[in-house]
Amino acid sequence: MKTDGFLVYEPKVSTLKKINSIRRVISAPDAKLPPILNNGQVAFSSAASADNEPRSCYNCVFYNYGRSCQLMSQSIEVRRLLWPKVETPDSKQIEYWPVCSYWVKGDPHTGAEKTLARLNPEDAGLCWINAPEVGLEYSGACCSGANGGDDCDMYMTPGEDKRSFEQGHCRVLGRDVNGMDCCSAWLDDDLVSWRTAQERFKVNRG
């Protein structure tokens, strides 16, 4: 029966057993596959919303340019990292670009440092991403690694060079996305943690 538009079940054992069975079949976890998330759950940003640029602090509105993030403590240094400090015969220099899950496209702040919040950098997903070359205008994260970015391990294409495909399949969203799309589930096995970056900045200043 219905009361004020809401369905009310009569207290029959058979009815409750049926409801429990329906709930279990819908909510039973799948032990073989990861959950498929939606755009909102991964802070998805489209290629168009990013002007087809890789995501980094250098094109984010929350960035105190060359210094810190407005959403975290100013004691956390946020800028490009060049490592090693001096190129050696057995290792070339790589430039790493900072970014976190709270990225929003826009021009960084260039005045006096501002603080809007004090997020834990671990919770915000702050990390440093290697660029394919040193000295690019923009680098950072995107699905395919095109336009000077670095690719995501969760982004799958028919061929090995992900940058050559305009679209690919996202294992997290469970659907095809554009190569210059990106989200907070971005993952690569050679990213540098924010703690490691802070230690490397100390060495670079030495």
pLDDT at position 6: 54
pLDDT at position 89: 87
pLDDT at position 96: 98
Q: Where are the domains of the chain?
A: 35-205
How many angstroms separate the CA atoms of 107 and 86, rounded? 31
pLDDT per residue as tens, the chain (206 positions): 544 555 555 666 677 787 777 777 776 665 556 678 999 999 999 999 999 999 999 999 999 999 999 999 999 999 999 999 888 888 899 999 999 999 999 999 999 999 999 999 999 999 999 999 999 999 999 999 999 999 999 999 999 999 999 999 999 999 999 999 999 999 998 899 999 999 999 998 76
Burial class of residue 141, CB neighbours in 10 A (0-12, 13-18, 19+): buried
CB of 99 closer than 8 Å to CB of 141:
yes
Q: Where are the alpha helices (DSSP H) in the chain?
A: 13-27, 121-124, 194-205
